[in-house]
Structure 1
Amino acid sequence: MSLLHRFALTATLLGLAPFAPAIAHHGWAWATNEEFRLAGVARQVRNGNPHGTMMLATARGVWTVEIGQPWRMEQAGLTDAILKPGTRLMVHGHRSARPNQRLMKAERLVIGGKSYNLYPDRPS
């Protein structure tokens, strides 16, 4: 590899370094493979990019739940009128691999007996 190529590669890698935590966080690598469920009441709901989040009050404490990108929420049929603060629901998904971290990524929400599947193509 020439000196110019090495310089270009180093510059590129250094330029990406600040984004490493965000790149590592998104996707599923940070979560366990085991299915996980939480039942509770939505305290805060934020729909937006890069993904929505919800604070869910449960018997296990307050959890942060990633609920998907706006297009994914729309595709699942979830609207602001359905998922809002005060909504009782069950969340199915995967929790953080860090045992003390109250964070999970939702695959499916069940509200009033109706399922909203955020990842229909993801194997369970």
Structure 2
Amino acid sequence: MPHVRFFHLLCFAVLAAFFAASTAQAHHGWAWATDEEFEITGVIQSVRLGNPHGEVTISVDGEDWVVEVGQPWRNDRVGLTREMLSQDREITVHGHRSAKEGERLVKAERVVIDGKDYDLYPDRES
């Protein structure tokens, strides 16, 4: 019977790993966002840069939206710095919004600050 118990434990471990990986992928990939292109302009309220990606909260018509910008290396590659993402600065975001009804979350492909484009995902059309 030890073999049966081991088999059950192994199955449980595999299923747990699968669900943990699929949950992480659902958010950190593009699967959680719509396929439609989306554009929004607002004023930066707060910034949190770092891994797994940065987040910029912007105010749009009195509502806060969270914008996922790139990972630190991706932001650095395009020249998007913390100073550019300073509070009270206007930003236009091109990307994809959350597919979850009512969630004010956008994954940025490209941002525009002071008329300059910062293309975080140059291989994606935005």
* Letter matched to residue 59 of structure 1: D
Which amino acid letter does the alignment assign opposite residue 58 of structure 1?
Answer: V
Structure 2 unaligned blocks of 5 or more: none
- Residue equivalent to 1:73: 75
* Consecutive unaligned residues in structure 1, runs of 5 or more: none
User: What is the number of equivalent residue pairs in this alignment?
Assistant: 123
Among candidates 86, 104, 107, match of residue 105 of structure 1: 107
User: Aligned pair 1:89/2:84, yes or no?
Assistant: no
Moved more, 85-94 or 18-27: 18-27
Taking the aligned partners of 2:115 and 2:44, their CA distance within structure 1 comes to: 16
Kindly name which structure, 1 or 2, has the bigger radius of gyration based on alpha carbons: 2
Q: TM-score, normalised by structure 2?
A: 0.86
Deviation at 1:5, TM superposition (A): 6.2
In 1, distance between residues paired with 2:76 and 2:64? 25
Q: CA deviation at 1:8?
A: 2.8
What one-letter code is carried by the residue in structure 2 that aligns with 1:114? Answer: K
Q: Distance in 2 between matches of 1:98 and 1:52?
A: 20
1:45 aligns with 2:47: yes
One-letter amino acid matched to 1:112: D
**TM-score, reference length from structure 1:** 0.87
Q: Secondary structure at the match of 1:68?
A: coil
